[in-house]
Amino acid sequence: MRTLCVLYDETCGFCVSCARWLGEQCVLVELECLPAGSEEAARRFPELRRSGGSEELVVVDDEGGVYRDTHAWLMVLWALEDYRDWAQRLSRPALMPLARNAFELLSRNRRRVSSWLSLEDETLRTELERAGAPDAPKCAPGDEACRLPGGMRCEGCGRPLARGRTACPHCLADVVRGAFPSPSGRGTG
């Protein structure tokens, strides 16, 4: 086994932070973190599409082995230089029930952990990036205030908007709240 692909929930801030953290670790087995809802994941692993529960972590090795839940968490730890010993300890029969309970508790409450730690997900970050650079002119409240030079129109409502933006602040707020599909046509909710 030379590589592991970690399929993580890109709509969970905790999961996104964990994927970033994994990318910074010294590894004994190469790790690739791939958003589970991405087109790339669907193309490479069509049999895993929506097969697991919302709390499920899935890891696939380069030999076709699929690991779920506790076994997935242990495989990720096993691939890391500084945590392989922990993976081996936690996989022993005496400690496996404790590891399973800890990983299940964390998985079930990952969105609450994200909220507590103010961790953002990739969906929100992508929508904010698509809306334009932070220094781009912003529309003031009111319909007439969006009439700035540039000839661009909001993809959501058609209002004129500032150069460098794809959505007006009104539509972006609705996208972030999940009130309607994002300007790119993908739902966020």
| Residue 6: CB atoms within 10 Å | 23
CATH of the domain at 66: 3.40.30
Considering the domain architecture, whether residues 51 and 99 belong to the same structural domain is answered as yes
What tokens does 137 get?
A: 């002119």
Domain boundary among 92, 116, 140: 116
Considering the domain architecture, whether residues 74 and 167 belong to the same structural domain is answered as no
**Number of independent structural domains in the chain:** 2
Residue 141 lies in a domain: yes
Considering the domain architecture, whether residues 84 and 7 belong to the same structural domain is answered as yes
What tokens does 4 get?
A: 């592991």
Domain assignment of residue 135, given as a range: 125-177
- For CA atoms 110, 112, 118, 122, the dihedral sign is positive
Question: Residue 146: what pLDDT?
Answer: 44
Question: Residue 173: what pLDDT?
Answer: 58
**Segments of the chain with pLDDT less than 50:** 51-52, 128, 136-149, 180, 182-189
Question: Residue 143: what pLDDT?
Answer: 42
